[in-house]
Structure 1
Amino acid sequence: MTSDWRGSASANARNQLFFAYPSVAETDRGRENPFELSVSFFHRRKPMPTVAWFYGILIQMHYDDHVPPHFHARYAGSQAMVRISDGAIIAGDLPPTAARMVREWALARNGELQDNWRRAVVHQSLEKIAGPDDDE
């Protein structure tokens, strides 16, 4: 079964959780203009604020997201949902070194991540969180 931009069931369906914006490949199927998207498309996929950026790893959080408290990490084409409490990857994957760095950072910045989670639940502005490269 193939996947389309509407999120039909397939091996790639779990990745639909992570994309904030469509790629050209996701938008051009069956459309004369690949950059013409329906309003409902953007209601489903809301941009995620970036709370940290270190060593090329992007850390983002959704507003009013589902439990357990988590953040999204992206690196070199890989993406994962990471639980705040212990830094464990709960969906997706990252290269081993990036996964280790994200886990160590999440444990070191756990209080700040929890604070941002509480802000996100009530739609308050999220704070930027220093990465390990800012600590050096």
Structure 2
Amino acid sequence: MPSISMFYGLIVYMYFMDRKQHKLPHIHVKYQDDEVVVQIPDGTVLEGSIPNSKMKLLQAWIELHRDELIADWALAVSGEQPYKIEPLR
């Protein structure tokens, strides 16, 4: 499960071959002891939660990097290493 970005305490992961549980393009995001699974490209929460202030930052980042996330998803589900994506600054 490679980390593809880190910012403001959020760590964004994309798992290899991860189509079974959610069947939709998504990312896993950890913040301290919390974890959320978020659909890409629209930012819909599929499972879990993180503090609202952090969720707003995450959704802004998803909006900025939508195309890169979709490209990384295609790589990850085919078993290839996804690229790192710039953090939110």
Shorter-chain TM band? over 0.9
Residue type of the alignment partner of 1:53: M
Question: Which has a greater percent of helix?
Answer: 1
| Runs of at least 4 residues off by over 3 Å | none
Percent identity of equivalent pairs: 29
Counterpart mapping for 1:102-117 below 5 A: 102-117=58-73
Residue type of the alignment partner of 1:80: V
Asked if structure 2 preserves the Cα contact closer than 8 Å seen for 1:80 and 1:94, the reply is yes
Counterpart mapping for 1:87-126 below 5 A: 87-126=43-82
SS in 2 for 1:132: coil
Higher relative contact order (CA 8 A, sep 6+): 2
CA RMSD of aligned residues (A): 0.8
The partner residue of 2:35 within 79, 95, 115 is 79
So what's the TM-score if we normalise by structure 1?
Answer: 0.61
Question: Which has a greater percent of strand?
Answer: 2
So what's the TM-score if we normalise by structure 2?
Answer: 0.92
**Which residue of the partner structure matches residue 42 of structure 1?**
none
- Give 5+ residue unaligned stretches, structure 2: none
